[in-house]
Amino acid sequence: MKIKIFSIAFLAFIFLNGITVKADEGMWLPMLIGKNYEQMKKQGFKLTPEDLYSVNKASIKDAIVSFGGFCTGEIVSKNGLIFTNHHCGYDAAASNSTAQNNILDSGFYAKSFTEEKPISGLFVRFLVRIEDVTPKVMAALAGVTDNQRASKIAEISKQIASGASAGTDSEAEVRDIYKANQFLLFVYNRFTDIRLVGIPPQSIGKFGGDTDNWEWPRHTGDFSIFRVYADANNKAAVYNVNNKPYTPKKYLPVSIKGVKNNDFSMVYGYPGRTDRYLTSYGVALATGKTNPTIVKLRDIRLKAWKEEMDKNVDTRLKLSSQYASIANYWKYFIGQTEQLKRLKIYEEKQTQEAKFTSTAKDSVYRNLMQNYKTTYAAYEPFAVHITYINEGLLATPWVRNASQLGGLFSSMSEKKDDAAYMAQVKENMSNVLDDYQQTYNEIADKKIFARILTAFYNDVSKSQHPKFITLITENYWKGSPEETFKNYADYLWANSKLIDPVKLRAFVSNPNMSELEKDPGYMYAKNLNPQDYVKNNLGSVSTDFITQKSRLDNLYLKAILETNKTALRYPDANSTMRISYGQVQNYSPKDGITYNVTTNIDGMVAKYKKGDQEFDLPQSLLDAYKKRDFREYGENGTLPVNFISNNDITGGNSGSPVINGNGELIGLAFDGNWEAMSGDIAFDKNYKRTISVDSRFVLWCIDVLGGAKNIINELDIRRDKIAVDKSKLIMKK
């Protein structure tokens, strides 16, 4: 069928060149974007490469920020206003909400600077420059053995980075690309006084909930608004009421001219992680073991939280942010497994790897796939167990906290005269305790604890059960594993001082090692100190796997890079700044169906279910809809909500600007589509789409529903309708 022909052709292509240039695939490094320029121009890009990235003059890169390290944002006014996604600002809104003043549910727009809400802990980073430091790193690696390689890379990277940031107010880091075959230095400026300016009610910002998440057609107003503040000299500074809105080097104008199929579109931001060179062995491990385990363990947490969240508003507000983020990747892993199988990615990679082996000139490369096979075979029997550590055993935060207390207390008693150290410890502890208290729920956490241990007992091969599991079942047995672990949970909750946040706070404020040693919660948790757990129960399985796999990955990429030295290639995403370009584009999810590129408010209201947790809508939206009050944001009698484009993005790109050929903001990227959930491992041109909220819908919410003219007036809005211009041209002819 069509897909098959396509993918085989694609394979031959990929085999020769690695991941090479195609219209829409690719997360390109901004400083090398000149290489893509001719192709971008053909697709409708009107600016120059220097307009996108320049170290010497203001360029679009200066309007793009890493938002909190987990999302992307863009500067949209001369006063440092930031647009990002609703789900990126979710935690900021949730932690500023109470049952009485519930901005998560009702939305919030500051009508003046003084109403903006400082968000502690949040930061944005501006990229100053990127520099290729491969020769420096490679020189340091000469003669270094495989086992020392990773630590040597870390050492020299740190040295280069501190050299670059010394004596400046910037920070720097060296990141590897192409599996440690090349190295880049990134220099950033970090701002920490970030304030919440606006967010729609979550019924708009998260409309469709988990049901619509990762799916097209979509109708979600996934945006929120923040502002960067700086000191009197426009420099980064810690929060201070007297700080001023930051004056940026560059900000993006906002287009309300609209989008249509085949328009040029570009996404500029911070994609987190892709694994496009993962071998068939890695795909098999993901679909067979790791993904199903993650899904099962997240299901346990989500069910227990939901049961409590449905009981009252306070609990819902308290748990909703962690619920949303765990649910997001719960559905992601379901989708990734389904699509890897549907698109036969394992089989594709096998074919590709067989060809790699048969044409390899060097014996190292000829044996590479066999070595991958052996490496994965040694790891596979432990994969479920290893996935259980972070996703299960450590998923109740008290265990993670308590597991560290022994080490912490002893270094505190050693360094009790070191005032700086003690102050740092105090601050860290208070942050950890605040976070813990904010998300703790006794009923849910206890259920989760017992259910995860039960699942562990049943799913992890008995021969791998740690001694403490056996001890628990021997001492607390109650007829079944389920009742036994419930019984054990009851015992811990009744007797430990390390679980209830209030008791825990009291306990750590007066550290006592011998009390700690006697605490039953500590006796359990000390088994789970993350480093020791692996060593004690799994020996070197995990570290051996990581070392061997990194070495093989490094060689695999080396081979690919050697194949065609002039080919245009992009490295896997690694949370560094990238540009992806392509077009607004429709797609066919299956035979007989083509999805439009845009959705509109009629479709949104058609999904409306009064009072529903996922599909409710605020009265203000329904009223404006009834009057069809779309103002200049409407088009053809309706209001556009979301659109799709073939840009190559992944998690971390959330909130990224979607930019048209003139460098104007046409939307905010917020999601991917179900048919391409395998995209982080294999890009499929037929299916992979970026889902964005149309800038017109964003502005309509702020203006018409929020009445925040102050925000609208800050923006540089580009209004000339393309449709009107075009009809004039045709008439002249």
Residues that bind ligand ARG (CB under 6 A): 87, 206, 209-210, 213-214, 324, 327-328, 651, 654, 670-671
Closest approach, Cβ 706 to ligand ARG, in A, equals: 20
* Shorter beta-carbon distance to ligand ARG: residue 302 or 327: 327
Closest approach, Cβ 93 to ligand ARG, in A, equals: 13
Closest approach, Cβ 223 to ligand ARG, in A, equals: 12
Closest approach, Cβ 122 to ligand ARG, in A, equals: 18
Closest approach, Cβ 206 to ligand ARG, in A, equals: 5
Task: Say if residues 624 and 301 touch (Cβ distance below 8 Å).
Answer: no
Alpha-carbon gap, residue 231 to 208, rounded angstroms: 40
Closest approach, Cβ 66 to ligand ARG, in A, equals: 15
* Shorter beta-carbon distance to ligand ARG: residue 62 or 680: 680
- 255 φ/ψ angles, rounded to the nearest 5 degrees: -90, 135
Number of CB atoms found within 10 A of residue 109's CB: 21
Number of CB atoms found within 10 A of residue 291's CB: 20
**Continuous segment of H or E residues that includes residue 611:** none
- Both tokens assigned to 584: 């607004």
- Both tokens assigned to 465: 């059960």
Alpha-carbon gap, residue 626 to 617, rounded angstroms: 13
- Both tokens assigned to 396: 């109740």
Three-state SS at 91: helix
430 an active-site residue?
no
Alpha-carbon gap, residue 496 to 33, rounded angstroms: 57
* Shorter beta-carbon distance to ligand ARG: residue 215 or 500: 215
Three-state SS at 184: strand
- Peptide linkage before 217 cis (omega within 30 of 0): yes
Tell me, rounded to whole angstroms, the distance of Cα 728 from its chain centroid. 44
656 an active-site residue?
no
* Shorter beta-carbon distance to ligand ARG: residue 318 or 526: 318
* Shorter beta-carbon distance to ligand ARG: residue 33 or 668: 668
* Shorter beta-carbon distance to ligand ARG: residue 328 or 464: 328
- In the block, tokens 């001023």 appear at 244
Tell me, rounded to whole angstroms, the distance of Cα 610 from its chain centroid. 31
First to last CA, the chain: 44
Task: Say if residues 81 and 227 touch (Cβ distance below 8 Å).
Answer: yes
* Shorter beta-carbon distance to ligand ARG: residue 218 or 446: 218
Closest approach, Cβ 27 to ligand ARG, in A, equals: 15
Alpha-carbon gap, residue 362 to 519, rounded angstroms: 59
* Shorter beta-carbon distance to ligand ARG: residue 327 or 453: 327
- Both tokens assigned to 245: 């809105």
How far is the CA of 252 from the CAs of 49, 58, 259, 278, in angstroms? 16, 12, 17, 36
Closest approach, Cβ 511 to ligand ARG, in A, equals: 39
Burial class (CB in 10 A: 0-12, 13-18, 19+), 306: middle
Task: Pick the catalytic residue from 91, 193, 212, 222.
Answer: 222
Strand partners, 579: 28, 268
Closest approach, Cβ 270 to ligand ARG, in A, equals: 12
* Shorter beta-carbon distance to ligand ARG: residue 323 or 556: 323
490 an active-site residue?
no
Nearest to 379 by CA among 530, 255, 538, 273: 538
Three-state SS at 163: helix
How far is the CA of 85 from the CAs of 404, 600, 625, 641, in angstroms? 34, 19, 23, 14
Task: Pick the catalytic residue from 87, 219, 385, 519.
Answer: 87
Which residues are known catalytic residues?
Answer: 87, 222, 654
